[in-house]
Amino acid sequence: MKILSFGFYDDFSSFFYDIEKANKGDYHHISSHLSGFLGYKGKKKSCLLFSRNKNVYDHLDSCLVFHRDEKYFSKNRSKYLKSASRYYDHFKEKIKEIEPDVVLISGDSKIPSKVLSLICKENAIKCFYFEQGPFRTTMIDPVGVNAFSSIAKNWDIDTGNSEKELVEKIQSFIKRKKNQRKKRKFWLRGLDFCLNLPLLNLLIPLDLREQNIIDVILDRLKLSIQKKTNKENPAKVSKEVLLALQVPHDANLIIHSPNYKNHAQILEETIRGLPLGWKVLVREHPLYKNGYESELYNIINQNKDVVLDQNLAAIDSIDRVDAIIVNNSMLGVESLLSNKLILALGNSYYMDVVTKVKDADEIRLALEENNILILKRLTFMYNFCYNYLFDGHFRDISAELPLAILDYLKGCED
């Protein structure tokens, strides 16, 4: 089978190289970043940073959706369109050269991913979307990732298992033995940051630019000093709702959040929706502690009914509270086994088995009614774990994961 894959960084490249080694046919990998290109051990590889073109294709405007809500999008639209156009020419050239049977695409929302997906549709080539899953798993989907995943609408309602059997089997999957992680060469990712230094970043397409590592370190230190609250987790004296924050500025907040564009807005609406006597326990994403907008921390510090949870493990936070509110974060699916009410403000692949709300009035009503769809949640989770997810994380050392993915791809060819 001839395969073309696209990824971003060096850890993506390591994963796709594992698939190349397991595959018997031709394989070509395209990286967006230098770390991905240098980190790919296969011979047939290329990098979008090295692509050049003078063409601009207006029909690629639909591929810019990830950046449309940016403050200076109108000013930068032409630059984004030029980036999309250079990717379009690069991808088309490689597809013409390789004639792949299958294309593997990392994500489905950023400009390179959208452009490659569009080309696959234009040329009637099967493409599959890659994303990391919960519980140290991997997702490969023919439709998309996040709220666009096929599992959102396509799962078997009748599993033939009792509620008790479902719980036992799901817990068995979650608690299974995990693979060892690969050792990552962080100097490769460091090269990406170095290329974002002033003047050097002019060599990088606007959509691929990021903060350099010095700014990241300084920002985190500054945030730790300025925004860290003195609140600790007090003893629980009233009903609490856990508000799970997620990665800021990612696709779930940009593409799949129709009602809110930042976490401060979500927290304000949650507070307005609290029934009398309820409190909010705010849980930050573990990689972004003290890393959200200043407004969020101001709200936390000024409101006696809000506590910032920085110390507890996720499962401890879930066990402590009476209900859980997410926008569309992974903690939502991790909470499905709990016998707790789960409210979702945004769109996700699990939104049909939780309570969908959009504003303070709907939050208050849902908390008061406390309608938990436990059997439906368990049925979804069983299908999700055993019929959809691939066992093993893309950063794991695993001979089985690439083989399982190849078997799935070949099965889709039949």
- 289 and 399 belong to one structural domain: no
CB count within 10 Å of CB 370 equals 11
- 361 and 396 belong to one structural domain: no
- 279 and 399 belong to one structural domain: no
Is 409 within the bounds of a domain? no
- 64 and 117 belong to one structural domain: yes
> With contact defined as beta carbons under 8 Å apart, do 357 and 345 qualify?
yes
- 45 and 81 belong to one structural domain: yes
Is 224 within the bounds of a domain? no
Predicted confidence (pLDDT) at residue 228 exceeds the cutoff of 90: no
366-381: average pLDDT: 94
pLDDT value of position 230: 46
- 99 and 236 belong to one structural domain: no
- 40 and 24 belong to one structural domain: yes
pLDDT band at 22 (very low <50, low <70, confident <90, very high): very high
Give the model confidence (pLDDT) of 300-355 as tens digits.
Answer: 999 999 999 876 788 889 999 999 999 999 999 999 999 899 999 999 999 999 99
Within its chain, how far is the Cα of 39 from the centroid?
A: 22
Is 109 within the bounds of a domain? yes
238-255: average pLDDT: 91
Top pLDDT among 114 and 235 is at: 114
State the residue range of the domain holding 284.
229-386
pLDDT value of position 229: 46
pLDDT value of position 184: 92
pLDDT band at 146 (very low <50, low <70, confident <90, very high): very high
How many domains in the chain?
2
> With contact defined as beta carbons under 8 Å apart, do 260 and 347 qualify?
no
- 260 and 367 belong to one structural domain: yes
Q: How far apart are the C-alpha atoms of 162 and 308, rounded to whole Å?
A: 38
Eight-class DSSP state of 325: E
pLDDT value of position 223: 57
Measured CA to CA in angstroms, residue 343 lies from 20, 226, 265, 336, 384 at distances of 41, 31, 16, 11, 19
Is 218 within the bounds of a domain? no
CB count within 10 Å of CB 11 equals 20
Helix (H, G, I), strand (E, B) or coil at 165: helix
Predicted confidence (pLDDT) at residue 29 exceeds the cutoff of 70: yes
> With contact defined as beta carbons under 8 Å apart, do 6 and 30 qualify?
yes
- 147 and 263 belong to one structural domain: no
pLDDT band at 291 (very low <50, low <70, confident <90, very high): confident
- The CATH number covering residue 72 comes to 3.40.50
- Name the average pLDDT for the chain: 91
Within its chain, how far is the Cα of 258 from the centroid?
A: 16
- 157 and 44 belong to one structural domain: yes
Percent pLDDT > 70 in the chain is 93
pLDDT band at 215 (very low <50, low <70, confident <90, very high): low
* 3-class SS letters over 331-354: HHHHCCCCCCEEEECCCCCCHHHC
- 145 and 240 belong to one structural domain: no
Is 219 within the bounds of a domain? no
Is 215 within the bounds of a domain? no
130-156: average pLDDT: 95
Is 88 within the bounds of a domain? yes
- The CATH number covering residue 273 comes to 3.40.50.2000
Predicted confidence (pLDDT) at residue 37 exceeds the cutoff of 50: yes
Predicted confidence (pLDDT) at residue 213 exceeds the cutoff of 80: no
Comparing 25-29, 160-164, 175-179, 209-213, which segment has the lowest mean pLDDT?
Answer: 209-213
271-298: average pLDDT: 91
Within its chain, how far is the Cα of 294 from the centroid?
A: 23
363-383: average pLDDT: 94
Within its chain, how far is the Cα of 411 from the centroid?
A: 26
241-260: average pLDDT: 92
- 365 and 399 belong to one structural domain: no
